[in-house]
A and B are shown apart, each in its own frame.
Chain A
Amino acid sequence: MAAKDLVASGNTVIGPSILINGKLTGDEDLTVRGRVEGELSLTKTLIVEPSGVVKANVTVKNAVVSGVVVGNIQASESVELTHEGRMVGDIRAPRVIIVDGASFRGRVDMGELPPGRSLPERSTPRTQLRPTVRSLPPPPPRPATAAARPGGASATTPARKPGGMPGIVRTEARTPPPAPPTPPVVAAGAKKKVVLKKKK
């Protein structure tokens, strides 16, 4: 996937045997297969390939790290550590994606997390912030009601999953956009039945 990205977009490539020591700035995508040390700032995307090593303070829009980064990354959009990525340093970006297999030591700062936005919610469970973010309780043991009327339930709410509660809470929040903040989840469980019946 990273290879596809680079063929499509990058016209600057630092080859595997190249070492750049100093300050690098630019307005285009940059693919690093060699070494860059010092300071790196781009207005577009930095791609560090598996052979690439960046020892620098990095300021970019997006960063995709499949190689090694030692230093801080500040991104205006996103930072992604792929399964081959290794990084030591702090990440500061509204979206931080760390996939399984990546190794990372440092701090993550996603800034203000606006409540109700699906975006940080999607990306955080993979980061090391996991324990702080999960606000939804584990699904309570009540799939019995759903199973009691399988035909009707599946027809009206196809989004319903065996996950139960969290999925439902989310769909409820989405369907009426200007809805008031949903009450505590325990109460929502009681109300929800009513809502579903109304729909039918």
Chain B
Amino acid sequence: MANTVIGSSIVIDGEISGDEDLVIQGTVKGKISLRESLFVEGSGVVEADIETQNVEIAGRVTGNIQASDKVELKADCRVVGDVKAPRILIADGASFKGNVDMDVKER
């Protein structure tokens, strides 16, 4: 379904922006801004600030995450950074270090 997939052997150093879902199995450093959903799969490594609507993280993310809808930290993910979103889910088994901010005015 997702149109864009960053495969596991791909390394991107820079900025990614777009209006569609993005699946990351590889490595992205820099900045990600999307209007749709971001999926960081188990093999994915993101060292970037993230701005999206939804994020689902099963891999590793270092950086601040800001979502207009939802952030979901799945089991076995490792996240370091601040998370800001109206809905934040942290599953059992997830490891996370950072601030959580659900105080979003537009609701």
Contact = CB atoms under 8 A, between A and B. Distances in A.
Interface of A: 11-28, 30, 33-34, 38
Interface stretch (B16-24, B49-57, B67-75, B79-87): B16-24
Contact of A26 (B2, B4, B7, B16): B7
Contacts of A26: 7, 9-11, 26
Interface of B: 2-22, 25-26, 30
Given A13-B4, A33-B3, A25 B20 contact: no
5 contacts: A12-B26, A15-B20, A20-B16, A22-B30, A25-B11
B80 to A, nearest CB: 22
A106 to B, nearest CB: 25
A22 B14 contact: yes
Given A25-B11, A26-B11, A12 B18 contact: no
B91 to A, nearest CB: 26
Contacts of B20: 15-18
Contacts, number: 79
Contacts of B18: 15, 17-19, 34
A25 B12 CA distance: 6
A148 B11 CA distance: 66
Contact of A19 (B7, B9, B11, B17): B17
A28 B12 contact: no
Nearest to B34: A18
